[in-house]
Amino acid sequence: MKIGTCATVKYEMKYSISRMTFGGQYLNMLADKIIDIKHYNEIPLRVAYFLTPKGPSALPMLHFICQWSATYLKADEEKAEPP
């Protein structure tokens, strides 16, 4: 499953994170063989990132975390709003 380039992934994220955090997580995912990278012999240089067979197995957990955070972040925001 192709997931795009680093710039595409960063652009499509809803919440911005620092380059340092993104880079660290990227390296962890490469080391854990969750994603893989393909280098193309082109100018300008081009790379693409792909989920490995191990990658999609994490999707149910990530969906659950997104649902959980949406529920509780919304509840926290509603409590913080002045009457």
Is the whole model's pTM more than 0.75, yes or no?
A: no
User: How many CB atoms sit inside 10 A of residue 74's CB?
Assistant: 10
Q: What is the pLDDT of residue 65?
A: 86
> What whole-number distance in Å separates Cα of residue 74 and Cα of residue 41?
46
In this predicted structure, the answer to whether residue 52 has a pLDDT above a threshold of 60 is: yes
Q: What is the dihedral of CA 50, 53, 57, 62, to 10 degrees?
A: -10
Q: What is the pLDDT of residues 23-42, one digit of tens each?
A: 788 888 889 998 888 888 88
CB 50 within 8 A of CB 38: yes
In the Cβ-directed half-sphere of 26, how many Cα atoms lie within 13 Å?
17
